[in-house]
A and B are shown apart, each in its own frame.
Chain A
Amino acid sequence: MKYLFLLFAAILLMNFGCKKAQVVATEAVTIPAPWTDTSTVHPKNAAFRSLIEKYRAKGLPGISLLVTDASGTWIGATGKADIERNIPFTTGQVSKSASITKLFMGTLVFKIIEDSARTGVGYSWLQQPISRYLPTAITSKIANGSVVTLGQCLKHETGIPDLIEESKFYLAVLNHPNRKWKPEELLEFIYNKPALFAPGDTAIYSNTNTTLVAMVIEAATGKKHADLLRQYILQPLNLKNTYYQPHDELPTHAAQGYYDLYNNQTILNVSNLVTGSGNGYGGMYSNIFDLKVFIEALLINKTLLSARSLTTMQTYGKQDGPNEYGYGIMKKFVSRGANAGIGHSGRDLGYSANLFHFPARGVTHIFFINYGTDAASTLRDVFNAFQEELLNLTLQ
């Protein structure tokens, strides 16, 4: 009998001893705005403050919001970054930006193209099939894998199924909550699945596409895409509050993420159910200050990419619901016509974020919310109402 107890103790030790949470309890840290904050004199100060407080009271745990318009930049935050420990969600709060990672990936592709003298790839790279870079053992098992191009992956025109739509994937995440997934392991979830459509016929968002982009980048350059992101974007822009999970160790002040997992109007801390971060489609943590620097360099001041790259990047394809996709960039709220936003949204299990510039109005809005908004919960409606009200307020 004693052997049985020893075995039990060994299993417990292995369980508790080997796994370190990627998101630890949040510490209170104040990250000040890198400019003089004039939010209190912004004409919409009261309206913006009222907006975020209203939706915090309706259940969004923590919100940081930045709006830049003709009157200047307004920043504000409310709620908790860590509810259990009563840590406030601050304006400089580092939180998960989720699929905004894809906008960084798209930008990286063009930076690599622009550095063709060293990288050996030009704009024709976008038209080259991914099978030129990836082994047949992989592409032959992916629907349309032998014919789709890098550009089609960036524009979601591949017809390749989305790996995160697979129930097997969610079971695996439950099973390996802290796992640092390799791209090949993630692709296994969609191996031998039928194509959604013929390449180029239409566009349907698929996270698998950006994983393939990351793999092509690594095959073409011989370097890790996480290192290239750092080399070409994060370091030149001095984005000190931006981290790429799990390639970077997350700071102890990163926000906890919450989700109505059981659809019963309670929220659970799901920070450490990691949905394949670090493989091109998600995993970036940042704050409103760093994302402001990034979108200004990319779309407003246009200093990050050449005019040719930026024009190419913003060549949009067919509409997918309320979105259109350029090369790694998203045009959202297209039903608003000229007032559509350009940038990217981010939705993950416990986190949401938006990064959009509205060129017709000269407005930018960026927010982080530590709640996963895709659950079938009334909180999803709360989030959608927040987003809609924010748009109406900023685009007035």
Chain B
Amino acid sequence: MRTLYLLLFLQLIYCAVDGQTSDKKKLYSIAVSNSHSSYPFSTGVALVTGPYNPGFELAYNPTLRQRQKHEWVANYAASYLFHRFNQHAISLYAQFGYRYKFTSRFHADGMVGGGYLHSIPATAQLKLNEEGEYENAKGIRRMQATVNAALGIRYYLSTSPGNKNVFLRYQTSIQTPFVKSYVPMLPYNTLLLGVAFSIQR
């Protein structure tokens, strides 16, 4: 039920924003990622050199408000992360933020957001049955909340507004409640490399 409420909430946000931006180009993005479990913003080049916990993100990125040098932006995303021996994490989240245009081609942004994370254990999860034997605990998945903050840069391949751009985003997110007694909040740092493109209506 919580999942349903969350999806409805995200849908409402999407509709509200979509209404405001219906006269603009629709920007979508796809990105690949590597994530590390570590304290927020504490991971540096290791996100490039490994270890690799691969993932990807599909997103819709509308511009909410636009000025000559500034933009208020949003990112509605669905993502997947595979963390070996730990979990498959599928999340739906919304991010809102501010983008500054250094030049017509080079922009930087900061965003905060949150959403829902569906955690599927990456190793066998077993449950004791009434006969005292363990069996696969099929169907037991974990509903988690996630909050995040991100810093990113993007480079536009042409100077026309809303055109294709490549972006690099450093994102820290917290998954909770993870393990009550040891790791109640599991932080991840993620580096995403992606491309955004527009689809004309």
Contacts and interface: CB of A to CB of B under 8 A. Distances in A.
Contact of B183 (A18, A171, A268): A171
Contact of A11 (B54, B132, B136): B54
A269 B124 contact: yes
Interface string B127-149: 11000101011001010000000
A59 B52 contact: no
A16 to B, nearest CB: 9
Interface in B39-60: 39, 50-54, 56
A273 to B, nearest CB: 6
Nearest to B123: A269
Given A14-B52, A15-B54, A266-B140, A167 B183 contact: yes
Nearest to A171: B37
B194 A12 contact: no
B121 interface: yes
Interface stretch (A256-264, A286-294, A305-313, A325-333): A256-264
Contact of A15 (B39, B56, B82): B82
B38 A4 contact: no
Interface string B92-124: 000000000000000000000000000001011
B134 A80 contact: yes
Interface size class of A (residues with CB under 8 A): 35 or more
B128 A59 contact: yes
A121 to B, nearest CB: 39
B127 A177 contact: no
B72 to A, nearest CB: 27
Contact of A272 (B85, B127, B179, B180): B85
A243 B180 CA distance: 33
Interface string B75-93: 0000000111110000000
A250 interface: no
Residue among A1, A56, A268 with the most chain B CB within 10 A?
Answer: A268
Contacts, number: 110
A367 B142 CA distance: 33
A153 B147 CA distance: 42
Contacts of A58: 132
B145 to A, nearest CB: 15
A174 interface: yes
Given A15-B84, A57-B132, A175-B38, A376 B180 contact: yes
B143 to A, nearest CB: 12
Contacts of B51: 15, 19, 175-176
A2 to B, nearest CB: 11
B193 A83 contact: no
Contacts of A176: 51
Given A57-B132, A177-B84, A1 B195 contact: yes
Contacts of A83: 124, 126, 134
Interface string A94-112: 0000000000000000000
B159 to A, nearest CB: 21
Given A61-B134, A170-B183, A15 B127 contact: no
Given A7-B32, A15-B54, A171 B127 contact: no
B181 interface: yes
B187 interface: yes
A168 interface: yes
Nearest to B194: A4
Interface in A45-65: 56-59, 61
Interface string A229-255: 000000000000000000000000000
Contacts of B39: 168, 171
Contact of A174 (B30, B31, B86): B86
B5 interface: no
29 contacts: A1-B30, A4-B31, A4-B194, A8-B56, A11-B32, A15-B51, A15-B82, A19-B84, A61-B134, A84-B124, A171-B39, A171-B183, A172-B38, A174-B37, A174-B186, A175-B38, A175-B53, A177-B86, A258-B126, A262-B178, A264-B140, A266-B125, A266-B137, A266-B140, A268-B121, A268-B125, A269-B123, A273-B86, A376-B180
Given A175-B36, A265-B127, 20 more contacts: A4-B193, A4-B195, A11-B54, A19-B51, A19-B84, A56-B132, A61-B134, A170-B183, A171-B39, A172-B38, A175-B38, A262-B179, A266-B140, A267-B126, A267-B134, A268-B126, A269-B124, A269-B126, A375-B182, A376-B180
Interface of A: 1, 4, 7-8, 11-12, 14-15, 18-19, 56-59, 61, 80, 83-84, 167-168, 170-172, 174-178, 258, 261-270, 272-273, 375-376
Interface of B: 30-32, 34, 36-39, 50-54, 56, 82-86, 121, 123-128, 132, 134, 136-137, 140, 142, 178-183, 186-187, 193-195
